[in-house]
């Protein structure tokens, strides 16, 4: 199967017109940067492991200007480092379902913290500040957004590459 990345598709989140020749779905592989954020005296930690990932998104249309993003992500977790309470974690595919061009709900397919988690898990968490930037010169897509866990906000940064 051959995957193509079209810059007009990736730049269209803010409502720009997409070219008629764009493929119906864009898929691209990449890497997530690891990050850990602590919530001061409360003791809560939010973390994202560094690792491989994948990005998939359909072409925006007038009927669906902000189509969902499917991301294969390394493990993401939140917990209280002092007590061990509140452990929530996901690993694998998540779906960013948009309510605006930059906010929405991150639906979690696999709840790593739940024994025998069903697929999909039914768990979700809010996200905000979504941004994707395509650089045609380097054939890279940079994606960033914040996951708003109950006790801390986790900044997510990833870079995906296309064959030039």
pLDDT at site 121: 85
pLDDT at site 24: 58
| pTM over the 0.75 mark | yes
pLDDT at site 48: 96
Q: Give me the residue spans of the domains in the chain.
A: 7-161
Contact 12, 133 (CB under 8 A): no
DSSP string for residues in 24-65: SEEEEEEEEPPEEEEEGGGTEEEEE--EEEEEEEEPP-SS-S
Q: Which of 29-33, 35-39, 111-115 has the lowest mean pLDDT?
A: 111-115
71 or 121, which is more confident: 71
92-129: pLDDT as tens digits: 999 999 999 999 999 998 887 888 888 888 889 999 99
> With 80 as the cut, is the pLDDT of residue 162 above it?
yes
């Amino acid at each position: 199967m051959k995957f193509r990345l079209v810059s007009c598709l990736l730049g269209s989140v803010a409502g720009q017109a997409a070219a008629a020749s764009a493929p119906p779905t864009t898929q691209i592989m990449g890497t997530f940067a690891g990050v850990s954020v602590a919530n001061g005296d409360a003791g809560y930690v939010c973390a994202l492991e560094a690792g491989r990932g994948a990005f998939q998104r359909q072409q925006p249309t007038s009927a669906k200007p902000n189509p969902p993003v499917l991301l294969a992500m390394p493990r993401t977790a939140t917990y209280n480092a002092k007590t061990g309470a509140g452990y929530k974690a996901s690993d694998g595919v998540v779906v960013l379902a948009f309510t605006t061009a930059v906010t929405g709900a991150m639906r979690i397919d696999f709840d790593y913290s739940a024994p025998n988690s069903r697929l999909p898990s039914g768990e979700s968490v809010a996200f905000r500040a979504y941004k994707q930037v395509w650089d045609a010169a380097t054939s890279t897509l940079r994606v960033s957004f914040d996951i708003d866990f109950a006790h801390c906000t986790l900044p997510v940064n990833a870079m995906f590459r296309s064959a030039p």
